[in-house]
Amino acid sequence: MNQEKIALLVDSCTDVPEEFIEKYGMFVIPLNIIYKDRVYTDKVDITAEEVYQNLKNEVPTTSLPDGQVITDIFESIKKDGYQKVIVVTISSGLSGTNNLVRLIAEDFTDLDVFVLDTKNIGIGSGIQAVEAAKLIEEGLSFSAIKEQLTLNVSKSKVFFSVATLEYLKKGGRIGLVSSILGNALNLRPIISCNEQGVYYTVSKARGRKKSLENAIQLVKEYIGDHQKVRLAVVNGDAVPEAAIIKAQLQHLFPNNLAMFEGPVSPALGVHTGPGLIGICVQLLD
C-alpha cells in the first residue's frame, strides 16, 4: 500500500467538477478576471453566468494567478504534511499558469513537485486531474502516477462547439482557428487543442444543430474501438443543450466509466462567450 502522502493541485480553468474537488480534497489555484473597476477571483466571487450577463457592457480580461497566492497554496500543502505534489494545469500553449507554477515550485526544495502540462483546456485538463486522484486513491507510487499521467496527455481530447468566435478573437486566444469564418454563412466551428496544446479548427458546420451533430461524430471517431472511456460534457450558458448531448452520449456509449458534467469556469467563459458546449473524451485502455 502506498504510504506516500500526495497532494493534488489544479488551476481553476481545468473545470474539475466541484464534487471531485471536495471528494479528493484538491487544492485549487484561481485565475483572475479583470474588469475596469475590480478584479474577481475565478469561481470564488464570480460565476460564469455573471460574466455572460455583463458581456454586453464589458468584456473582461483574464490573468494568471497571483504568484503570492500560489506560494501560499504550496505553504499550506506543506503545512498539511504532504511531501509530494501533482499539479495539473491547462495547456502551456494557452496560458502561462503552467510555467509560473513550475517556477514557484522550484523554491520549495522540500516538496517533490510534478507539474503536468495537459496540452488541453477546461474539462480536457480536468479529466486528467480526476484520473490523478483515482491513481492516488489506488495507492500507486508517485513515479508511477507521473508516468501514467504523462502517457495520458495524448489520450484525451476535447471538442468545443462555440456560438461565436468573437470572444476568442478579443482575448487573443484564437490560436490556429481562422477568425474569418463568415457570420453571414452561420458557420460554427468545432475547436480542439492540437498536440502543442493550441486551439485549432477540427470541423465547420452550418448552424448550431449540425455543429453539435459534428461534435458527436468526432467523439465517435476518436473513441473508435476503445472500450474503456471517460466522458464529460460542459457548457457555457447552454444547460438544456448539454443535457440532450449527455443523453445522446450515454445512449451511444452506455459502458463509459464516468460521465460528468458542469459549467465552464468564468475565466474560460470570458474567452468563449455564451452558448459553448464542450465534450471531452479520455481513452483509458
Average pLDDT for 122-142: 95
Percent residues over pLDDT 70 in the chain: 93
DSSP E strand stretches across the chain: 6-11, 27-29, 32-34, 39-41, 61-63, 84-89, 112-117, 156-161, 187-193, 199-206, 229-236, 259-263, 276-283
Q: How many alpha carbons lie under 13 Å from residue 78 in its C-beta half-sphere?
A: 14
pLDDT of residue 272: 84
Residue 103 pLDDT exceeds 70: yes
Torsion on CA atoms 61, 67, 72, 78, rounded to nearest 10: 120
* Contact indicator for 43, 179 with CB cutoff of 8 Å: no
pLDDT bucket at 179, cuts 50 / 70 / 90: low
What is the pLDDT, as a whole number, of residue 158? 95
Would the pLDDT of 184 be above 60?
no
> What was the pLDDT predicted at 19?
92
pLDDT at 261: 87
Query: Would you state the pLDDT for residue 152?
Result: 94
β-bridge partners, 236:
276
pLDDT tens digits along 164-178: 777 777 766 565 566
Whether 137 shows a pLDDT value over 60: the answer reads yes
The pTM (predicted TM-score) of the whole model is 0.91
Q: How many CB atoms are closer than 10 A to CB 105?
A: 20
More confident residue, 223 or 256: 223
Give the chain's mean pLDDT.
Answer: 90
**Pick from 1-15, 16-30, 125-139: least confident:** 1-15
Tell me the mean pLDDT in the region 15-32. Answer: 94
Question: Would you state the pLDDT for residue 268?
Answer: 86
- pLDDT exceeds cutoff 70 at 116: yes
The predicted structure's pLDDT at residue 257: 77
